[in-house]
Amino acid sequence: MGQANSMMDLLVSLQLRRSAGELAGRILVQNCLYNAAASLDLEFRLKRISKAQDLLIDRPWLYRDLEVDLVLLENQLPFFVLNGLYERASSLGLSSNFPPDFLELACNYFNINLDSVSFRKEIKHFTDLKRWEFVEYHPPSESTDDIWMDDLCSASMLYESGVKFKVAPERTALLDIKFSDKELIIPPLIVHPYTESHIRNVMALEQCHCPEKAYVSAYVDLMDHLINTEKDVELLVKKGVIVNRVGSAAAVADMINNLSEGVEEISHCYENIARDLIECYNSSFNRAIATLKHVYFNNLLRGTASVAAFLVVLFTFTQTLVAILERVNPIN
């Protein structure tokens, strides 16, 4: 009797597991189909000629929220699945003003330059597409045992030591940062309310699937060291390196400082830049020259006053010296 009960319990357990597995599979399939339908439907709506009465497109806040949801790592579908659905839908006789390629449609929607990602043979999903936009160019990883990044100073401290901050041309890739001749050239970073979500999901993708090529994580780590307070943000905004569309400099500083929490693996592609910046900061001569410029010559009026004061001191010293020499050696 006991063996029969045990066998019955085993059969019931197996049946429950099978039912749970089937239910999970159905939920997964339904979720995938829902996300695929949402992705394609939204992009088809964007291509309509008349949008005035479209409930979705006519509300910008809802449109932006959907764009953020489509980049969330947990919402991703394989890109080849969406591409296959798009090709099937196109074969049913849709309007001819749709792009022939799904990648082009996705780039148009996410405002990504098609040329920057078209040579990528295998794009996994939308989050991966967003990452390729960031890593259109990246500095090579540097194999070094010295970790300079931990000792890097903030932007305001570097500026006081003579480092010049300059914004790169507009079309420069985000990760293409260069330092030469005491000039740090950084491409502009546009910070809007959805920047944190986009970068966090790209960083999560790197940590899970390509930790040895975590270039975006390395970029965030560099910016985290450059930005400690709102004073650093204000300096970079003044130089054009950061385009602040959230209003508060403190909010931008908090966002940058919180992005690297919990991130373990990053690429060491900015170690040489960090080393050169630290050496420039530690130079006493550079700091003296920078102090002279910032204190006495930071604008035309103060520079003119400093030169006038220096000339007055020089003339006074010259007159005093001449008077002393006359007393020592009277002129005949």
Q: Rounded distance, CA 184 to CA 152, Å?
A: 13
Task: Indicate left, alpha or beta for 168 from its phi (over 0: left) and psi (-120 to 50: alpha).
Answer: beta
Question: Residues 245-260: what's their mean pLDDT?
Answer: 91
Predicted confidence band of residue 91 (pLDDT cuts 50, 70, 90): confident
C-alpha closest to that of 129 among 141, 114, 142, 148 = 114
Mean pLDDT of 287-296: 55
pLDDT of residue 16: 45
**Confidence band of 99 (pLDDT split at 50, 70, 90):** confident
Q: Cα dihedral angle (155, 159, 163, 165), rounded to 10 degrees?
A: 60
Task: Pick 46 or 49 by higher pLDDT.
Answer: 46
pLDDT bin (cut points 50, 70, 90) of residue 316 is confident
pLDDT of res. 251 = 93
Sign of CA dihedral 255, 258, 263, 268: positive
pTM: 0.73
16-38: average pLDDT: 47
Asked if 275 and 222 touch (Cβ cutoff 8 Å), the reply is no
pLDDT digits (tens, 9 = 90+) for 116-165: 777 666 889 999 999 988 888 877 776 665 567 778 889 998 988 888 99
- Mean pLDDT over 249-267 rounds to 87
CB-based contact 141:219 (threshold 8 Å): no
Provide the CB-side half-sphere exposure for 246 (13 A, CA).
21
Question: How many percent of the chain have pLDDT more than 90?
Answer: 24
Question: Domains of the chain: which residue ranges?
Answer: 22-134, 149-288, 299-328
* Listed range (53-62, 181-190, 308-317) with the worst mean pLDDT: 53-62
**CB–CB of 262/212 below 8 Å?**
no
* Confidence band for 28, pLDDT divided at 50, 70 and 90: very low
Round to whole Å and give the CA distance between 167 and 178. Answer: 10
Q: In what order do the strands lie in the sheet with 178-180?
A: 164-167, 183-186, 178-180
